[in-house]
Structure formats: C-alpha cells, structure tokens
A and B are shown apart, each in its own frame.
Chain A
Amino acid sequence: GQQVMQIPQYQHVQEGEDFTTYCNSSTTLSNIQWYKQRPGGHPVFLIQLVKSGEVKKQKRLTFQFGEAKKNSSLHITATQTTDVGTYFCAGRNTGGFKTIFGAGTRLFVKA
C-alpha cells in the first residue's frame, strides 16, 4: 500500500539555525499537505501543494513539491522557539480517498 516516509524523526537546532524536513511517497500524489502539531495539541493545517514543482512561502517557511509529485520538503529559515512542534506531511494518491500522514519530524529549538 501507499507509504509516506518523513525524515528526520527528530531535529535539535539552536535558535536562528535553519531546519528542513523531507517527505517521500512510494506512489505519485495528487497533493501534499503540511501540518504542525504543538506538544499536547492537535494538527493545524499549514499549506497544500498541488502542482508539480510547486514552491510556496509563508514568511520563514518554504514548501516544495517535487517534479514527480512523490516528494516534498519544508524549510524553516532562522528558527525561533515558537517553531517548536511536530511537522507532518500528508499525501493523497491520485483518485484516492485516504490522506496518508508521514510519521512527523519533531523540532526542538534551543534558545
């Protein structure tokens, strides 16, 4: 079945350093979504990418969708302590119903 793999599992950074998490699917995706979950909280939608090669930015966050629509990345520039949490990618197969979540990357930011 479809699998969505996300690396790294954990990342510790010093405040001000950059951070990147990567997402890879075993199958071609119709779209990919990114969510953030704060400790003890629930997933909150960040963005959706649909087009091959798409790049979107939200302030210090940059999201990319691969040309083959099988991988994606989230890059945070100059991390802040408010960026702490787990970042999940979630992908859906073309024509499918299920959204498959990656295992998430847990970001720790040291002040």
Chain B
Amino acid sequence: NAGVMQNPRHLVRRRGQEARLRCSPMKGHSHVYWYRQLPEEGLKFMVYLQKENIIDESGMPKERFSAEFPKEGPSILRIQQVVRGDSAAYFCASSPLKARDDSTQYFGPGTRLLVL
C-alpha cells in the first residue's frame, strides 16, 4: 500500500516562474491538506481539499497561490510568479475521513522548493 506521494521532491525555479507541486494521496483517501514549512520552523496550514472541493483555504496567501484536487489525478498546489520568500518545504497530507472526524493525517515526503 503506497503512502502519500509527492513530486517533484526538489524543485528549483527562478523568480517570476511558476511552480507546480503534485500530491497523490494514499489509496482510499479523499481528503488532502497542504502545509508549508520554512527552515527550522513548524508546519503552517495552507489548504484543505476534498475531491473537486476546496473546504478551507484560510491559510493560503491571497495572491499567486492556488490549489485543486480534481476528480481524477493528483492534487496540485500552484504558485505563480514565485519569489524568494516562497522557498520552503511543502508537505501534503491525506486522510480517509473528514477533518471533523478526528482522522490521522499521513504526510508525504514533501517538495523542497528553491527560488533563485
């Protein structure tokens, strides 16, 4: 049973380019969360999605960031016109149950984004 998969594991972008981060949840999981982690810091919630729905995006910056979880395929976190401050590790987590049902989150290995 494969765990949560994220790709790419490492991504280098120049300022102004776009970054696309992908997350495939564990089999049978339909709830996905995205977190950002700056070096030596904790995990900051960004967005919670179910298939075809954004449930809570209160942690997402208002501009340049977007997320989706289509009916088919992985969840995508998209960062447009990246800036150096976007450099961080982005983790995806999935769970089988609704967030309100006290469900454990299983984390992927993360994507380390470096903006030059």
Q: Which residues of A contact B (CB under 8 A)?
A: 6, 30-31, 33, 35, 41-45, 48, 50, 88, 90, 92, 95-104, 106
Contact = CB atoms under 8 A, between A and B. Distances in A.
A43 B104 CA distance: 12
B105 A99 contact: yes
Interface string B72-89: 000000000000000000
Interface residues of B, number: 25
Contact of A97 (B40, B44, B56, B107): B56
Interface string B31-42: 001010000111
A92 B105 CA distance: 12
A65 to B, nearest CB: 13
Contacts of A48: 102, 104
B110 to A, nearest CB: 5
B106 A95 contact: no
5 contacts: A42-B91, A45-B106, A97-B48, A98-B58, A102-B42
B108 interface: yes
- What are the nearest 10 A-B pairs in CB distance? A103-B42, A101-B43, A97-B99, A97-B56, A42-B107, A43-B107, A101-B42, A104-B42, A31-B102, A45-B104
B100 interface: yes
B59 interface: yes
A23 B104 CA distance: 18
Given A88-B43, A97-B56, A101-B45, A42 B102 contact: no
A41 B100 CA distance: 27
B16 to A, nearest CB: 29
Given A33-B104, A43-B91, A50-B102, A99 B109 contact: no
